[in-house]
Structure formats: C-alpha cells, structure tokens
C-alpha cells in the first residue's frame, strides 16, 4: 500500500492524520518528519515563496522518510499549480477557497481533459516517463488529495455548495484567517468564531467529507476541541515553533541548575 493509500485508508476510517508545516531549505527536516512518524508534511508555498526545485526536493525528502507530502500552493492560478503537480505531491492544499466556482477551478487545474484543464507535461508525477502512459492517466486522479482551506466567513457560508464539487477530498480550517475575516484575529474562544468553526464541522459531517485544522503552535484546548469533533487532519507547528519552544525549555532548565549551584 502506497503512502496516499495509507492516508486515504485512515480517512475512510475517520482516523487522525497528523502532520506538521515546513518551508525551510534544509531537506533533513522533511525526511526526519517521516522517521518521527508524521503522516504528512505540509510544505507551505503560500507564505514562503519556495522555488519549484525546492518544492520537488522537499517532496522527495518527505517521501524518503515515509511521510506524505502536501503542498499548499499560493493561490488558484494554473501557472502556480501546474509546476507543483509535475513534482508528484501526495496532496495539494488550496488556500482561501470561498466559493464553489473557486473549488471547481482548483479541481479542474488538477484534472486532465475531458474532466479538467490540466496540461500534459508530467515529470516526477509520471516517474520521469518510466511509467506506462495509460497506467498513469488511469491512476493519476487517485494519486493525490485535493484539499481546500476554509478560512473566511464567505467560505463557511458557501461550504455546502463547495463540498458538492466532485474532486474535493477534504477541508482544512485556517483559524487565524477565519477569525481575521470577522475582525477578531486570534480570538478562537469568541462565540462567533466558535459558531463558524462548528458550522464547518457540521457541514463536513453532513457531506461525509474529512475535515481538520492547521494551527501554528501547540494550543491544547483548541486542538482538543477539534479532535473531540472528529477531525481527521491536524497540522501543527513548524521548525521555528520547535526551536523556540525547546530553546525556552532548555534555557529555563539550565537556569534552574544554575540557581541550585550558586
């Protein structure tokens, strides 16, 4: 069973797929994530501005460690998505999908005609031409996940229609941007914010779609809420979070030892 099949199997059973974010140039981190047991690495190209070679190498490194590689693209434009598809990711994450029309566009860019508008130019996605053409065409749509982010109040309002779009495999909430869209950035306990998050959860359940959360740091109470609701995706932290938190912890432990010996 390949990596994507393992993740899909977990999603069908509504089991948790756990991942972390990364956009650094050092490939060791991506490989380590798999060795440490992460189901996937979220390679972020929305905020980081990674080049195609960086993305391809990050995907290869994550796969080498045993993790799936999900790439968040910067927008919904074919010119930015097609090069990523040719690198053979295990999932594409589309940010800020607010309407069914936007979701349809994202899926179409990932799909060859007649079902979509994807141009033909596979590289790593077709094992560099060593895979049989018909075998590739018949399996490519199932070889990666198409995940949309719900991170704006407009997206929540239109989510029923978005979830009816064929080819959308799951929804990931972006709570910071969602809270910003109602003028309450970072206020995750706000009643309106709670209502919007619950609406995302309820609508995904009604449509039988897996859902989850992408959050910067380890916020136990907030994460626990999503897990209690049945979240299947949980993307937490990144290298800067791990370095910061470990540095704080190590510094304090050394200070304690220093005081004991002073």
Catalytic residues: 47
Residues 6+ apart with CB under 8 A from 221: none
Distance between first and last Cα of the chain? 58
- The DSSP result for 98-165, as a single string, is -SHHHHHHHHHHTS-TTTS-PPS--SGGGGGGTS-HHHHHHHGGGSSEEEEEE-SHHHHHTHHHHHTS
Q: Tell me which residue of 70, 16, 41 sits closest to 223, measured CA to CA.
A: 16
Cα–Cα–Cα angle for 43, 47, 53, nearest 5°?
A: 50
CB atoms within 10 A of CB 215: 20
Instruction: Report how far Cα 135 is from the mean position of its chain's Cα atoms.
Output: 27
What is the separation of C-alpha 192 from the centre of its chain, rounded to a whole number of angstroms? 25
Cα dihedral value 86, 87, 90, 94, nearest 10: -70
Q: CA-to-CA distance for 24 and 3, rounded, in angstroms?
A: 23
CA distance 23 to 257: 35
- Structure-block tokens of residue 204: 């995904």
């Amino acid at each position: 069973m390949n990596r994507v099949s393992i993740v899909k199997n977990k999603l069908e059973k509504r089991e948790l797929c756990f991942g972390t974010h990364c956009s650094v140039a050092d490939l060791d981190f991506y490989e380590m994530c798999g060795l440490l047991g992460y189901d996937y690495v979220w390679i972020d190209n929305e905020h980081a501005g990674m080049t195609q070679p960086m993305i391809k190498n990050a995907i290869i490194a994550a796969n080498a460690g045993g993790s799936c590689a999900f790439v968040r693209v910067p927008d919904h434009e074919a010119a930015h998505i097609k090069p990523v598809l040719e690198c053979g990711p295990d999932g594409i994450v589309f940010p800020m999908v607010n309407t069914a029309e936007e979701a349809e566009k994202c899926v179409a860019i990932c799909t060859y005609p007649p079902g979509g508008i994807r141009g033909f130019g596979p590289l790593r996605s077709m094992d560099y031409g060593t895979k049989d053409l018909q075998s590739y065409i018949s399996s490519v749509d199932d070889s990666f996940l198409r995940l949309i982010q719900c991170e704006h109040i407009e997206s929540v309002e239109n989510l029923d229609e978005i979830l009816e779009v064929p080819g959308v495999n799951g929804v990931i909430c972006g709570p910071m941007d969602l809270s910003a869209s109602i003028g309450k950035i970072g206020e995750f306990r706000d009643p309106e914010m709670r209502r919007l998050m619950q609406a995302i959860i309820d609508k995904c359940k009604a449509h039988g779609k897996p859902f989850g959360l992408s959050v910067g740091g380890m916020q136990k109470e907030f994460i626990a809420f999503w897990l209690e609701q049945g979240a299947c995706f949980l993307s937490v932290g990144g290298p800067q979070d791990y370095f910061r938190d470990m540095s704080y912890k190590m510094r304090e432990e050394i200070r304690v030892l220093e005081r004991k010996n002073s």
